[in-house]
Chain A
Amino acid sequence: MNSSLSPDAQPVVSVQNLTVVRGNSVAVDSVSFRIFPGTHTAIIGPNGAGKSTLIQTILGLIPASSGEIIVLGRNGRRLGKLASAVGYIPQSFPFDRHFPLTVSELVSLATGKLGFWGIGKSVRQKRQAVQQALKQVNLQDRGKQRIGTLSGGELKRVLLAYCLVVPRRLLVLDEALAGVDATGEADFAELLGKLKQRHGWTILEVSHNLPLVSRYCDRVLCLNQQLLYQGSPKDTLTPENLLQIYGSRVNPYCYHHEPTRLDRYF
């Protein structure tokens, strides 16, 4: 509902001259950008371009070497209680496949220390919230299933349900659909688009799927250590730009928001 792209709006994420050095190499070099409320921004670039490093630095998982990161108006590493307003779906979610935890239990972890024990909200309200979240990702009948028995795509939808249980302002996805088949990826992207509209999320994601990026995102950040281009998919995902970013011809297979422009790329 919330698509406030007004220039006066306070950015949800503001990155200024961010540099991240990992080992002896510069992974992210003097990157600056801002992400405004209600937008869906994709970070694209070849493998090793620093996309995941950038995302993880914004989330405080990797220390920045220099520069400034402001998330939800606060220093990115000291979000405090605002941390619950940030949802995160990582690239890989390694865990013990025999971990004794069901889908419902995992989703209910998002209700926090008090909510988990039914304090503040009753246990019944918590169960309803969890069931509602699972319903939104079409997994309402999987609540009692152990998480280790889920497929990769189902697990990502469970993590999306985890993000739905409490109000989020920012959703960060780091190649969330790596390893998921093309149909599953398209279904997830469509579901994400619907939920974004319904909940007014601001989304920042790393993606390799240029057709989906051009179809669902408002903004694209083209990264290869440095930020090479930023703007709308129409302006950034041009064959010339993609050639420079990836070093070879990449077919953007763009849908864009205006289908009439498709022929420009074929």
Chain B
Amino acid sequence: MSLPDWIGIFSLPFMQRAIIGGVLFGILGGLLGSFLILRRLSLFGETVGHAAILGVVLAALWQLPATWALIGFTVCFGLGVVYLIERTNLGSDTILCIALSGSVAVGTIGLTFLRGYRGNLLSILFGDILAIGNTDLILLLLLLVITLIGLLLSLPDQILLTLNTDLAKVQGVPVQGYRYLFIILLSIAIALAIRAVGILLVNSFLVIPAATARLVFGQFIPFLIASTGIGIVSAVTGMIVSGIFDLPSGPSIVLIQLLGFLGSAVWKSIS
């Protein structure tokens, strides 16, 4: 492909939206993912991501606007799961496993009631970052601004409650409020990212860049910056790779993230 062809591709509005979306997802995923993995909530992200299939089905059944319905569903689902974890004496992994299996089962059954919808199943499962619209970008930008303000302004409190809840409570940190705020931000991010990378891969946006950064960095601020940077670079590189080799965009981004993670793991073990 010649240079003018490349310039031509990147001047297309859908490609520009995809690049901007990738960068915004990268920042958001890196920020939220850093706290997600340190709070051992990786399985929570996976559960909410997979449960979104039920949200998609409900939105289609009741003919609701897909993006808003998905946001509403993931937030309610996420808060519901946290409520169950806090109110039962079962382990969180047990509750998450039940919620994941249950929602996927009900969602899959629901799909059978949707005639003509099965053709879209592949895009629900794997997403298409090239299909991102202006509304998605605005919502994404809004969520990123809220996340940046919310997390960074309260960063010492967020680190303390991630490190030790009791100490944070004694120091007057509103632990419960921050926890629920984080779950809400996380659920909305997952709802928005599903269009780009799909239900199956959405959690990788949150987990892999942060996990890669954690392998390398022992200080918090460099870890947070690296996690965000890896998220941005892998999203843009993944899209370029997908364009060069004509591969699906979502899996290409995840593949780049995976290669980065493996590279860091090998480098860390050697050094």
Would you call the interface of chain B mostly helix, strand, loop, or mixed? helix
**B-contact bits for A66-90, CB 8 A (1 contact / 0 none):** 0000000000000111011010101
The listed residue (A59, A61, A109, A146) touching B159 by CB distance below 8 A is A109
Which residues on B sit within 8 Å (CB–CB) of A94? 164
| Known A-B contacts A96-B38, A101-B219; A116 and B167 likewise in contact (beta carbons under 8 Å) | no
Which residues on B sit within 8 Å (CB–CB) of A117? 155
B172 close to A79 (CB less than 8 A)? yes
Question: Is A226 in contact with chain B by the CB < 8 A criterion?
Answer: no
B170 close to A113 (CB less than 8 A)? no
Question: Is B154 in contact with chain A by the CB < 8 A criterion?
Answer: yes
Contact residues of A between 32 and 69, Cβ < 8 Å to B: 56, 59-61
| Distance from B245 Cβ to chain A, minimum over Cβ atoms (Å) | 35
Q: Measured between alpha carbons, how far is A70 from B166 in the docked complex, in Å?
A: 19
| Distance from B130 Cβ to chain A, minimum over Cβ atoms (Å) | 35
Which residues on B sit within 8 Å (CB–CB) of A100? 38, 214, 217-220, 223
Question: Is B16 in contact with chain A by the CB < 8 A criterion?
Answer: no
Question: Is A266 in contact with chain B by the CB < 8 A criterion?
Answer: no
The listed residue (B155, B167, B172) touching A80 by CB distance below 8 A is B172
Question: Is A93 in contact with chain B by the CB < 8 A criterion?
Answer: yes
Which residues on B sit within 8 Å (CB–CB) of A111? 156
Which residues on B sit within 8 Å (CB–CB) of A83? 170-172
B156 close to A113 (CB less than 8 A)? yes
Most chain-A Cβ atoms within 10 A of its Cβ — which of B154, B156, B162, B223?
Answer: B156
Question: Is B157 in contact with chain A by the CB < 8 A criterion?
Answer: yes
Which residues on B sit within 8 Å (CB–CB) of A106? 163
Question: Is A112 in contact with chain B by the CB < 8 A criterion?
Answer: yes
| Known A-B contacts A94-B164, A101-B159, A101-B163; A113 and B171 likewise in contact (beta carbons under 8 Å) | no
Question: Is A198 in contact with chain B by the CB < 8 A criterion?
Answer: no
Task: Name the 10 nearest CB pairs between A and B, nearest first.
Answer: A83-B172, A100-B223, A116-B156, A88-B170, A146-B218, A109-B156, A59-B170, A101-B220, A109-B160, A102-B219
Residues of chain A at the chain B interface (Cβ within 8 Å):
56, 59-61, 79-81, 83-84, 86, 88, 90, 93-96, 98-102, 105-106, 108-113, 116-117, 146, 172
